[in-house]
Structure 1
Amino acid sequence: MGAQADNGLKIVIVGGLGVGKTTMVRSVSEIRPLSTEETMTRAGETVDDVSGVQHKATTTVAFDFGRITLDSHNVLYLFGAPGQERFWFLWDRLFSGALGAVVLLDTRRIDDSWYAIDRLERHGTPFIVACNDFGGPRHTPDEIRAALDLDPDVPLIDCDARERDSSKQVLITLVEHVRQYYATQTPPSEQELV
């Protein structure tokens, strides 16, 4: 059924190094995800900020790709972006044509989400923030919103990227937010179209 779909909807999952983007794509994709994970080396430690993720053995070096068939006409294409700063140049390309984005957040390293939120806002891509559960310090939603200077209309939810149902709920929340986002946008006037 998925091969006959005529409406591909692109969703990008972004966030810092080691927040669970690859894990989320793997947990919900109906196909075996394309993954560009490579072994982390000592040489990479001098380039990438691995504080807080020293236990991580592999890392994404391009992007992850998965798919979810919604019906015979609609398919979600999931793109997990690399989190290392040296690969951020790829993000604007990934955002192009995206229906929306998930900013995956590790509450132990909230600052790692600033760049993703800034780029999405500049690009005009609707997004939600999903706090992946790493068992770290518990922050209230208000504390997280304040730390990220998050617009009150941007959904903020908890998730466990390892769990299929939890990751599905993240995507459902994003699609509902995108629908509401575009419903509230004012259409361009006739003069703006000319």
Structure 2
Amino acid sequence: MDSKAFDPAAGAQPGDRFAGTPLRQTARDALKIVIVGGFGVGKTTMVGSVSEIRPLSTEETMTRAGIGIDDPGRVESKRTTTVAFDFGRISLDEQRVLYLFGAPGQERFWFLWDQLFSGSLGAIVLVDTRRLEECFYSVDRLEAHAMPFVVAVNRFDGPRPRLDRVRDALSLDDGIPLVECDARTRESSKSVLITLVRHLTHLREPSAVQEVAP
């Protein structure tokens, strides 16, 4: 899925939304969220659509060396692939900064995931319903790490199964938020982040009540 928000290969251009966004000197707290999912599901696109800085992207051109290793499957138009991670930034206010890390989707890079999960508040599992089975590992790993997460269905062209069917197929607990999105658009990707923040807030509320209860 090609991004309409940014071109990872291009440098910052005068007047674009990535120019002139230095980190505030008042920034004190750094928060971290990881975006995971299968190969070619749109993680790089989502990071690029919401980041206030031109994202650090480790996209490399796919070559014949990947034949038999990386299966483009139903993403024939994909010409590049993430070989480490994608990185973006959002300033929440004068003191808090949110860092976004897009994890590589190929199985041969899964060893990086544990390092990316370290220190993360939560995660977004990005899903392509045409290749639903590719997100099973993401859900399993997050559950193994006891990390809160939401699932976002990135709507591509083609069949659009109902969200309740997606929930059943993934065996998601009713307490895990499941939403639709278009990773190419800033507002849609921001909405997914807001859903995750609300989910994290909801999960923290019961423990907070217990701590102050007599």
Structure 1 residues 115 and 3: alpha-carbon distance in aligned structure 2, compared to 1, 3 A threshold: farther
Measure the CA separation in 1 of the matches of 2:130 and 2:64.
23
Measure the CA separation in 1 of the matches of 2:141 and 2:210.
24
Query: What residue in structure 1 maps to residue 93 of structure 2?
Result: 71
Question: Are residue 46 (structure 1) and residue 68 (structure 2) matched?
Answer: yes
Which amino acid in the other structure matches residue 175 of structure 2?
D
Q: Please give the secondary structure, in 2, of the residue aligned with 1:36.
A: strand
Measure the CA separation in 2 of the matches of 1:17 and 1:123.
21
Measure the CA separation in 1 of the matches of 2:206 and 2:70.
40
Instruction: From 83, 86, 102, give the equivalent of 2:105.
Output: 83
Measure the CA separation in 1 of the matches of 2:194 and 2:73.
32
Instruction: From 141, 144, 153, give the equivalent of 1:131.
Output: 153
Question: Are residue 144 (structure 1) and residue 166 (structure 2) matched?
Answer: yes
Instruction: From 147, 167, 184, give the equivalent of 1:162.
Output: 184
Note the C-alpha offset of 1:186.
7.8
Measure the CA separation in 1 of the matches of 2:98 and 2:64.
36
Note the C-alpha offset of 1:52.
1.3
Structure 1 residues 168 and 74: alpha-carbon distance in aligned structure 2, compared to 1, 3 A threshold: same
Measure the CA separation in 1 of the matches of 2:206 and 2:110.
30
Measure the CA separation in 1 of the matches of 2:65 and 2:26.
44
Question: Are residue 5 (structure 1) and residue 27 (structure 2) matched?
Answer: yes
Measure the CA separation in 2 of the matches of 1:77 and 1:2.
14
Q: Is the 8 A contact 1:107 1:136 kept in 2?
A: no
Note the C-alpha offset of 1:54.
2.1
Query: What residue in structure 2 maps to residue 106 of structure 1?
Result: 128
Note the C-alpha offset of 1:187.
8.8
Measure the CA separation in 1 of the matches of 2:109 and 2:207.
32
How many residue pairs align between the two structures?
189
Measure the CA separation in 2 of the matches of 1:132 and 1:36.
21
Q: Please give the secondary structure, in 1, of the residue aligned with 2:32.
A: strand
Note the C-alpha offset of 1:92.
1.2
Deviation larger for 47-56 or 28-37:
47-56
Q: Is the 8 A contact 1:35 1:64 kept in 2?
A: yes
Measure the CA separation in 1 of the matches of 2:118 and 2:210.
20
Measure the CA separation in 2 of the matches of 1:76 and 1:163.
19
Q: Select the structure that is richer in helix.
A: 1
Q: Please give the secondary structure, in 1, of the residue aligned with 2:76.
A: coil
Q: Please give the secondary structure, in 1, of the residue aligned with 2:72.
A: coil
Query: What residue in structure 2 maps to residue 192 of structure 1?
Result: none
Note the C-alpha offset of 1:140.
1.2
Deviation larger for 132-141 or 75-84:
132-141
Which amino acid in the other structure matches residue 84 of structure 1?
Q
Give ranges in structure 2 of 5+ residues lacking alignment. 1-22
Q: Is the 8 A contact 1:34 1:66 kept in 2?
A: yes
Note the C-alpha offset of 1:10.
0.1
Q: Please give the secondary structure, in 1, of the residue aligned with 2:136.
A: helix
Which amino acid in the other structure matches residue 88 of structure 1?
W
Query: What residue in structure 1 maps to residue 119 of structure 2?
Result: 97
TM-score by length of structure 1 reads 0.93
